[in-house]
Structure 1
Amino acid sequence: MNPKLVFWVPAALRTAIILAACALAGWMFGWKTGLVLALLAMIALVFTQLSYLYQLSNWMDDPQSAKLPDGWGEWTNIFARLYRMRRDDEKNQTELTEWLARFRQAMHLLPDGVVIMDDVLFLEWCNPAAEQHLGLSNDRDKGMRVTNLVRNPDFMDYIILGRYEQPLTISFRERKLIVHIIPFENRRQILVTHDATETERIEEMRRDFIANASHELRTPLTVIVGFLEIAAQEGLDAATRASHLKLMTEQGHRMQHLIEDMLTLSRLESVDYPMRPEEVDVHKLLEQVQRDARALSAGKHEVTMSVDGPNVLGSYEELHSAFGNLASNAVRYTPAGGKIHLVWKEYEGGVKFVVEDTGIGISPEHISRLTERFYRVDKSRSRETQGTGLGLAIVKHVLLRHSSTLQIKSEAGKGSSFIVCIPKTAVVAQQPELLPG
């Protein structure tokens, strides 16, 4: 139906009914009475309209669907339509509020920094990651120019040139950041920051690992190839040939140990080889570690052992590899006549395996880097003792798989202590002994 008819027909009918009633009263009681009643009826109608207009004006100051007044006549339809519109607005506003809260939560959890700027680079909003990356504060710096807050020459050039097709890599606040500006809407820009510090560190470690592994393999290969070329020549006496074969065998074993350690590290880091915990007989394990250490020492050191603690859950082979590496390092870096003591003991937080030696010790600046691959405090001594440079890296990865930690206490010239802390959750509860009878 035509909306105009919907409005005017009921209004005309109501007016006609009122005038008809007044005319009837005038016919019955005189025309003056009819006019007075008609005037009063019109005044009442006007007052009613003004009253509803006043209520509508008050409601507009605080438009809530629950406070919308009821009406009479056409006002019933008006208020009903306003109620539906306000209810829909409130529903939309609630949904928008929820979506905005979700957006802010997502932006807060996002590892990348997000900065929203206007067309003249004034800060409008940023998430916590951007605050951490760029040193911004959403509360303090809002409304300030970003170029005044991020003082970096490369970043300034990037902004001035306006070539936003490619991201920019900068060093800022001891971080390696990848920043990218993305224009959107007419007067807005988004600055996205990605912290590539860890990626850069991993890439550097990868390059160092390849370079070090290549260097470690090249040395024995050079020796072997050189001796093979000499052996191909005629006229070598038996003693010289035997000496060369001995040296080639030693270098071959060195390459073999290096490759075995590299494969061990690869397996420890691979998700395809999950650890299958089992009860580890610690006494048996440490006896084997002690025998291996004594065999490596060849009687040059005093290797003792003390076991006073429970068994643990873990991988026997991996723990043997870790504990064996710690014990063999102690043998290699302890001068002949020194002492090496292996200790297994319980403490409040779990159990500890300690390797104490009276060796050459380690300076403080080297301790934090000892578990890096191929890192050596004394490269010449390490090669003399046939170390691969991967032992402590293997120890670190084994302990990570066992939720354990390694502590190193050492002082140059006064020996070292390597302490493995295994958590209480890995301790196997001891069964009570049954008394005879």
Structure 2
Amino acid sequence: MNPKLLFWVPAALRMALVLSGVGVLWFLFGVLTALVVAFALMVVMVFVQLSYLYQLSNWLDNPHSAKLPDGWGAWTNIFSRLYRLRRDDEKSQAELSEWLARFRQAMHLLPDGVVIMDDVLFLEWCNPAAEQHLGLTHERDKGMRVTNLIRSPEFMDYIILGRYEQPLTLTFRNRKLIVQIIPFENRRQILVTHDATETERIEMMRRDFIANASHELRTPLTVIVGFLEIAGTELDLDAPTRAAHVKLMTEQAHRMQHLIEDMLTLSRLESVDYPLRPERVDIEKLMEQVLRDARALSAGKHTITLAVSGPDVLGGFEELHSAFGNLASNAVRYTPAGGSIHLLWQDGAGGPQFIVQDTGIGISPEHISRLTERFYRVDKSRSRETQGTGLGLAIVKHVLLRHGGTLTIKSEAGKGSSFIVNLPKSVTTPVGGELLPQ
């Protein structure tokens, strides 16, 4: 039905009913009584309308569907329609609030920084990542100009030139940041920041690794190729010279082989395709094997002792042998002839420990933090003399990461070193018992 008819028909019927009543009173009691009753009815109707207008005015100050008054007459339809409109509006606001909460949660979890600015670069909102990247604080800096908060000449030039189609790479607060401004709406702009510090560090490590690996492989290959060229051009080499050349080529070939094996070991340790499969490791057997390898490398030049008092552990036998063997062989290589090396396996306060103590040349403090980097050497000439690959401690670090362990290095130049492996208690097994769960 037409909305106009829904309003006017009931109103006309109510007016007709009032007039009919007044007419009856006029007929029964006279004109004066009818006029008085009619006036009284008009006053009541006006009062009712003013009362509903007053209630509507109060409701509009704080519109809420639950507080909407009930109406009479035409007001019933009006309040009913207002109730439906307000209820739909509250539902829309609830959905909008939910989506806004989700958006803010997503922005808070986003690893990239997001800064919302107006057209003159005044800060309106930023997420925690942007606060961390740019040193901003949303509560403190809201309403301030972003160019006054980010003091960087490169960023200022980027703003002035206005070439926002290309991102800007800058160093800010000891971070490598990639920033870009994206205009949206008519009076809004978004500043997006991406922290490329870790990516840059990994890329630098990759470049250094390739350069170092190439250098390490080039040296033995140069020696082998050189001797092969000599052997091919000088056929009348005497037997002692030929034997010396073959010996040197064999040594360089073994060095290259060890280097490649260590590189493959590192690659396997870092790969997700080779997860650790824990098994019970017989520590006495493992320590005896490490001791034999160290004594074979020493060839009687050092005093090497072993003490075992700790429990068996859960882990990879070959991986732990590689890590402990590298620590023991390093002690042999960097301890002068006549020195002593002590290998110790014990149950420490925080879990089992493997300790290698030597009376070697020691390490200066500035080198200790970098010892587990690939190809990092304190003394490159001595490392080559001892046939080291420069990857041993990197292998140790990755093996311990897979076993939840840590490596502590204590050393002083000229006074020897102590390499302490700490494994968590969760890897220990009871003596003669079953494996403990990890």
What interval of TM-score do these two structures reach, taking the shorter chain for normalisation? Answer: over 0.9
Residues of 2 paired with 1:310 and 1:23: CA distance? 112
What residue is the counterpart of 2:206 in the other structure?
A: 206
Alignment of 1:220-239 (within 5 A): 220-232=220-232, 233-239=234-240
Partner of 2:126: 126
Equivalent positions of 1:319-330 (< 5 A) are 319-330=320-331
Secondary structure of the corresponding residue to residue 141 of structure 2 = coil
Q: How far apart are the structure 1 equivalents of 2:229 and 2:153?
A: 57
| Alignment correspondent of 1:364 | 365
Letter in 2 for 1:258: L
Question: Match of 1:278?
Answer: 279
Q: What is the aligned residue count?
A: 433
Q: CA deviation at 1:104?
A: 1.1
Query: What residue ranges of structure 2 are gaps of 5+ in the alignment?
Result: 434-438
Residue type of the partner of 2:114? V
Show the 5 A alignment for 1:149-188: 149-188=149-188
Distance across 2 between alignment mates of 1:311 and 1:23? 112
- Cα distance between partner residues in 2 of 1:211 and 1:112: 32
Q: Which residue of structure 2 lines up, in the alignment, with residue 435 of structure 1?
A: none
Match of 2:302 in 1: 301
Cα shift at 1:430: 2.6
Distance 1:32 1:56 in 2: 36
Distance in 2 separating the partners of 1:92 and 1:395? 59
Q: What amino acid sits opposite 1:369 in the alignment?
A: R
Q: AA paired with 2:409?
A: I
Partner of 1:92: 92
Match of 2:409 in 1: 408
Report the CA distance between 1:234 and its aligned residue: 2.2
Unaligned 5+ runs, structure 1: 433-437
Match of 2:28 in 1: 28
Aligned to 1:141: 141
Q: TM-score, normalised by structure 1?
A: 0.98
Q: Structure 1 counterpart of 2:191, which letter? A: L
| Deviating more after overlay: 115-124 vs 103-112 | 103-112
* Counterpart Cα distance in 2 of 1:26 and 1:430: 115
Aligned-partner SS, 1:337: coil
1:62 maps to what in 2? 62
CA displacement, residues 123-146 of structure 1 (integer Å, 9 cap, x when unaligned): 000011101100111011111110
Cα distance in structure 1, aligned partners of 2:134 and 2:284: 54
CA RMSD of aligned residues (A): 1.1
Q: How far has the Cα of 1:180 moved from its partner?
A: 0.8
Indicate the residue corresponding to 2:436 in structure 1.
none
The structural deviation recorded for 1:45 is: 0.7
1:87 aligned partner, one-letter code? R
Q: 1:29-51 CA deviation, whole Å, 9 max, x = no partner?
A: 11111111111111111100000
Q: For residue 429 of structure 1, report the CA deviation from its aligned partner.
A: 2.1
The letter of the residue matching 2:43 is I
Residue by residue, what CA displacement relative to the aligned partner does 1:97-155 show, whole Å, maximum 9, x if unpaired? 11111111111111110000000000000011101100111011111110111111111
Q: Which amino acid aligns with 2:295?
A: R
2-structure distance, mates of 1:365, 1:348: 29
Aligned residue runs from structure 1 range 306-345, under 5 A: 306-345=307-346
Deviation at 1:84, TM superposition (A): 1.2
State the 1:216 CA deviation: 0.2
Partner residue in 2 for 1:287: 288
Q: Offset of 1:81 from its aligned partner? A: 1.1
Question: What CA distance in whole angstroms lies between the structure 2 residues aligned with 1:362 and 1:184?
Answer: 57
- Partner Cα separation in structure 2 for residue 245 and residue 66 of structure 1: 98
Quote the offset at 1:62 in angstroms: 1.1
Task: Tell me how far 1:26 sits from its aligned partner.
Answer: 1.2
- Scaled by the length of structure 2, the TM-score of the pair is 0.98
1:140 partner SS: helix
Equivalent position of 1:378 in the other structure: 379
Structure 2: how far apart are the matches of 1:323 and 1:413? 23
1:72 alignment partner in structure 2: 72
Instruction: Give the AA of the match of 1:62.
Output: N
Q: What is the distance in 2 between the residues matched to 1:92 and 1:410?
A: 68
SS in 2 for 1:192: strand
